Amino acid sequence: MPGFIDGHHHQFETCLRSVLADGILINDGRPESVHNYYELILQKFSMVYRPQDVFINEVFGGVAQIDAGVTGVMDVSQIHHSPEHSDAAIEGLRAAGRRAVLGYFEGWGDKAKYPDDAKRIRDTHFSSSDQLLSMFMGSEIYLPGYEKAWKVGRELGLPIALHVVGTFGMQPTFDALATAGEFGSDCFFIHMTGMSDVAWRAAADAGAHVSIAAPIEMHMRHGMPPIQKILDLGMTASLSSDVECTMTADMFTQMRSVMTLQRMLANELALQGKDYPKLMSVTDALKLATIGGARGLKIDGKTGSLTRGKDADIILLDATALNVAPLNHAAGTVVTLMDRSNVSTVLCAGEIKKWRGTILGHDIGKLRSELEASRDYVFAAAGIAQDLFRA
């Protein structure tokens, strides 16, 4: 089948895997929310990253997803603290060896050049469309001065990507942009939780893309994943792994989460004797995880389906394995039974990256040591004690 496409993934957090396994987005005042995403990950850990931390986190996160059959991704690393950090992120994406969109998002500190460095980055690294990497402009509407980021992105011809989350109080700003006619087919909206019907209609009419991270949205209180809204409006959509500090980045988890959620909501209506929407099928889920992501990232001319003329981003899955044999239904086997252990072989643009269970071209032991060293530095610099058995 075609390789999976992950709509958005914060790869810089690879060394922070599961540090926020029980976490929610922001502090709601309860004792268990003292460790929350906004304060711990964004305001503490992310502040101390050096360019070399960015690099190894990007490489490891990328190789780990190649291992899981994810041949394309948008990396959203809010870690552009200096041009050197940005270059390290891009070199890390390149070194991993798969298709990737750099989501050029914000950074912090005196040396941060966001969003003004966008032109240099585009001209230096993305002057050719004949490569595995491309670029989107991060344009977060919860940050002051977001209008400039939108302007810079559009002047440079870069698609606009942003998180749209009701939890952060974004609805009034989002509504204002909707009614001002600012939405376009160049917009990539992440989550779209807690938004008004007016904004949804404007987004659909504009041909904007929505990427949902169902497990993360349910786990971390972003709000109800808007899968039914997307289906009702007939929008193009994709699945996003989002953050590995809280949830795994494989697409099997993504597909099963969104499919069981949609069917649970519809089935509950059916049980109540009410009208209910069409149940999502395994083929629908598979499309979200492949061609849906490719369309959102504007790489569907090259990938996202097994089509003559596209690049060979292809994965081979083992249908003889103990957890899936005997093979009775191809799409059903992938979506309802398989996991990353079934990903046998992976090709990106015709190059073999994983062969019969083994990653090629990377020394995994060396990468892991470097990632652990980065983790140790990041924890120490942020003043956070490592604790394997934190309650």
Q: Cβ 75 to Zn ion, closest distance in Å?
A: 11
76 phi and psi, to 5 degrees? Answer: -115, 90
At 233, which amino acid appears?
Answer: L
Nearer to Zn ion, 66 or 164 (CB): 164
User: Could you identify the residue written with the tokens 């060293």?
Assistant: 373
Q: Cβ 255 to Zn ion, closest distance in Å?
A: 18
Nearer to Zn ion, 242 or 300 (CB): 242
Q: Cβ 37 to Zn ion, closest distance in Å?
A: 10
Q: Cβ 245 to Zn ion, closest distance in Å?
A: 11
Binding mask 294-333 for Zn ion (x = CB under 5 A): ----------------------------------------
Q: Cβ 222 to Zn ion, closest distance in Å?
A: 9
Nearer to Zn ion, 142 or 276 (CB): 142
At 56, which amino acid appears?
Answer: I
Buried b (16+ CB within 10 A) or exposed e, 35-45: bbbebbbbebb
Nearer to Zn ion, 35 or 354 (CB): 35
Q: Which residue is nearest to Zn ion (CB)?
A: 242
Binding mask 143-172 for Zn ion (x = CB under 5 A): ------------------------------
Q: Cβ 351 to Zn ion, closest distance in Å?
A: 29
Nearer to Zn ion, 43 or 328 (CB): 43
Nearer to Zn ion, 53 or 242 (CB): 242
Q: Cβ 263 to Zn ion, closest distance in Å?
A: 25
Q: Cβ 143 to Zn ion, closest distance in Å?
A: 14
Q: What secondary structure, in 3-state letters, does the chain show?
A: CECEEEEEECHHHHHHCCCCCCCCCCCCCCHHHCCCHHHHHHCCHHHHCCHHHHHHHHHHHHHHHHHCCEEEEEEEECCCCCHHHHHHHHHHHHHHCCEEEEEECCCCCCCCCCCCCHHHHHHHHCCCCCCCEEEEEECCCCCCCHHHHHHHHHHCCCCEEEEEEHHHCCHHHHHHHHHCCCCCCCEEEEEEECCCHHHHHHHHHHCCEEEECHHHHHHHCCCCCCHHHHHHHCCCEEECCECCCCCCCCHHHHHHHHHHHHHHHHHHHHHCCCCCCCCCCHHHHHHHHHHHHHHHCCCCCCCCCCCCCCCCCEEEECCCCCCCCCCCCHHHHHHHHCCHHHEEEEEECCEEEEECCEECCCCHHHHHHHHHHHHHHHHHHHCCCCCCCCC
Are 341 and 357 contacting, i.e. CB atoms less than 8 angstroms apart?
A: no
Nearer to Zn ion, 6 or 242 (CB): 242
Number of residues that bind Zn ion (CB under 5 A): 1
List binders of Zn ion among 211-270 (CB under 5 A).
242
Nearer to Zn ion, 97 or 166 (CB): 166
Q: Cβ 15 to Zn ion, closest distance in Å?
A: 17
Nearer to Zn ion, 241 or 345 (CB): 241
The contact set with Zn ion (CB under 5 A) reads 242
